[in-house]
Structure 1
């Protein structure tokens, strides 16, 4: 990529304008990104950076993937929005392709990941009342400690992150917390009023926390036996990130409901979905749920191409192989400024020794060396490059991290 020429660019002024006119709901790193191609981005002053965040896995296919851009450009010239008041010629093919990828019957399209989670909650409650026979208003959903499913008021109500919760109550009742990774705790928490278990197969925002082997299989067995829905939030972990199409595939598990988002829109526009069989998702009736933009033809065209890119399995195999390489390189750092690493495919949580600094400080120092990562929960940095990254690029990034840790 050849960066565009820039005249009189002042990143400081750009950042100041954003801080003055954009609500302070984020604390971004001090870089102004202007262009991107593949795994590399260029700032407003022409400096290049290796992107190891991928917009929290929304850019699994990299910046400006040619096939995805071509699908978007072709659709832009035809039709972008109809609302769901009418049919459009892109939604049906997209839903059919995504349902096949998931091995399910139906797709309910939305826009953001949080919308998919909210939709999944409504579906679970409706199923609980209309199919399982739970008394109206008494359905509960089991969730895991350390979860991150979004930032709507309902969702933060069952978060245990004080930063997400404090000052936003009162919260929606009906959620029961259990420790993440503890299937026995889920089994003990189930009552006749339990409609669903909602978990991330791997907790991303918590720092890429991977549950013990057999956890997902146990959750699947327990929920099936107890007539409870297993809802897997694969918004960050799904669509190739961990070396399989879905993180549940790592244990050969198929949940009742997939919640998908982020990479589903190809890094071009928001697209999310709830995917389940007809006996679950069929409980939703016309007028009970919807979205003006959900399932729009532009998003559907891009989403169809995303499914095509995943259908061969090549990207998943690539993520698995490169993930092994990444894990081996990161393991070298343990005891040398790093206290622990957790890796699943091309997704890693790296815990920074407090003697070195905070995760934020390490992220800022990596930024100065041309590597983009993001911190979480104080001492952890997350690594999630686009799946098209090369081993040599990962090696270069690890070398920059080594320098930062040594300094």
Structure 2
């Protein structure tokens, strides 16, 4: 029995099975590579689902966490700490938030969503507009805004008053938002839907209709924020200033943290003393990690780096490929550091992808979906793992890539070069070459 199989059997006997059987038991990571308990290495092109922004074992993050652990790991919310204050200031700075804005620290993206829901209730309204394909978390409040029926139905009735509209459908959004609407929640790139970007025009329309109706615009940057798309936040490209923004994942680089950022004094003042709270949110350890992540992205020019290395993935075909209408070689170890529904705003491919079995890609920066042509994504994910790559079958027809922001062009080229063999194996052509 291998170490992986032994520990997976123990996992099955001791854990609540909400995740199903894990794929591997990972032991360590360095840079963009992870090693399992049997000693096999993999290029991590998922980074903990867009969490390990600096990869694994980055010196700046390790040193910041170790130093803070020696000083103070936790204080209650009767007090604050220098890392919490400084991280809040840095978030307001990179968010381009106006004077009078504020930050509430939580422990996860779902908790940030919960805070945003309570913020919206303070408008005196109860109706929320969310998008089909949305994913905002699995706590019962966040789940009410999450569209997938398989997630929602076992726990209904959920928070009432949530209306879902098709993403990219301008007329549907206009009809849905009125004087009874408390807030519109949206992801600039819908991650769990298959990495489906909303157009900049759609974000601008959302800002326009919420302003006209007196409703809040809440932008979910949990997966897209902290540099993943090549901007600090994905909505920045549109020029839109939201009323609130939720963060988590990459903010802590692997240390659990979430945040609600409120824009302007009128919105920030909606939540007052005693109306919300958290025991662990904003603890100095997590905030020290967040500061290290932001400082490293800025110091090392990682926003520009993301935009540069992401061009390697353009070899997989055009971006903006519409979801379908219903009816390898190993990476070099010495390298550095249901059917999808058509989207109204999706752009059809204008040229054929250069890789057989690939229609093209969707997404921005280092959040991409590789759209497969007649190949089951789950099977392709397994073939990729056999070839030494960790990716995610985000839908039945698409593989999600969300590598660390420090990934090198050489590492991405290794995956692109290996992909034809991976897809051949997924079709039943044998082991990846």
Q: With structure 1 as the length reference, what TM-score do the two structures score? A: 0.91
Comparing 47-56 with 174-183, greater Cα deviation is found at 174-183
- Matched ranges for 1:29-108 at <5 A: 30-104=23-97, 105-108=101-104
Per the alignment, residue 4 of structure 1 pairs with none
The 1:27/1:382 distance shift into structure 2, 3 A limit, reads farther
Per the alignment, residue 207 of structure 1 pairs with 194
Comparing 115-124 with 221-230, greater Cα deviation is found at 221-230
- RMSD of the TM alignment (CA)? 1.8
Per the alignment, residue 376 of structure 1 pairs with 394
For 1:46-105, what per-residue CA distance to the aligned partner results, in whole angstroms no more than 9, with x for missing partners?
Answer: 111000001111111111111111110000001011120222232112211211111222
Matched, 1:114 2:110: yes
| Local SS of the residue matching 2:128 | strand
Aligned match for 1:152, one of 117, 121, 139: 139
1:28: Cα distance to partner?
Answer: 5.1
Segments of structure 1 that go 5 or more residues without pairing to the other structure are 1-7
Measure the CA separation in 1 of the matches of 2:291 and 2:26. Answer: 28
Q: Is the 8 A contact 1:71 1:305 kept in 2?
A: yes
The 1:38/1:145 distance shift into structure 2, 3 A limit, reads same
Per the alignment, residue 247 of structure 1 pairs with 234
Per the alignment, residue 3 of structure 1 pairs with none
Matched, 1:344 2:364: yes
Matched, 1:275 2:271: no
1:9: Cα distance to partner?
Answer: 5.8
Per the alignment, residue 256 of structure 1 pairs with 243
The 1:359/1:71 distance shift into structure 2, 3 A limit, reads same
Per the alignment, residue 337 of structure 2 pairs with none
Q: With structure 2 as the length reference, what TM-score do the two structures score? A: 0.86
Q: Is the 8 A contact 1:257 1:274 kept in 2?
A: yes
How many residues end up aligned between the 2 structures? 388
Measure the CA separation in 2 of the matches of 1:313 and 1:144. Answer: 36
The 1:213/1:52 distance shift into structure 2, 3 A limit, reads same
1:166: Cα distance to partner?
Answer: 2.3
For 1:314-365, what per-residue CA distance to the aligned partner results, in whole angstroms no more than 9, with x for missing partners?
Answer: 11111111122212334574672123421310111122233x3x21111111
Q: Is the 8 A contact 1:60 1:386 kept in 2?
A: yes
For 1:264-286, what per-residue CA distance to the aligned partner results, in whole angstroms no more than 9, with x for missing partners?
Answer: 1111x211100112221221122
Q: Is the 8 A contact 1:245 1:313 kept in 2?
A: no
Q: Is the 8 A contact 1:83 1:294 kept in 2?
A: no
Measure the CA separation in 1 of the matches of 2:221 and 2:212. Answer: 23
Q: Is the 8 A contact 2:135 2:145 kept in 1?
A: no
Q: Is the 8 A contact 1:61 1:388 kept in 2?
A: yes
Per the alignment, residue 373 of structure 2 pairs with 353
Segments of structure 2 that go 5 or more residues without pairing to the other structure are 319-351, 426-433
1:312: Cα distance to partner?
Answer: 5.1
| Greater RCO, 1 or 2 (C-alpha within 8 Å, sep 6+) | 1
For 1:100-144, what per-residue CA distance to the aligned partner results, in whole angstroms no more than 9, with x for missing partners?
Answer: 111222100000000001111101111x12xxxx4xxxx211100
Measure the CA separation in 2 of the matches of 1:159 and 1:97. Answer: 29
The 1:368/1:123 distance shift into structure 2, 3 A limit, reads same
Measure the CA separation in 2 of the matches of 1:281 and 1:100. Answer: 16
| Local SS of the residue matching 2:190 | coil
Measure the CA separation in 1 of the matches of 2:363 and 2:90. Answer: 29
- Matched ranges for 1:191-340 at <5 A: 191-267=178-254, 269-276=255-262, 277-311=264-298, 314-331=301-318, 333=353, 336-340=356-360
Q: Is the 8 A contact 1:333 1:402 kept in 2?
A: no
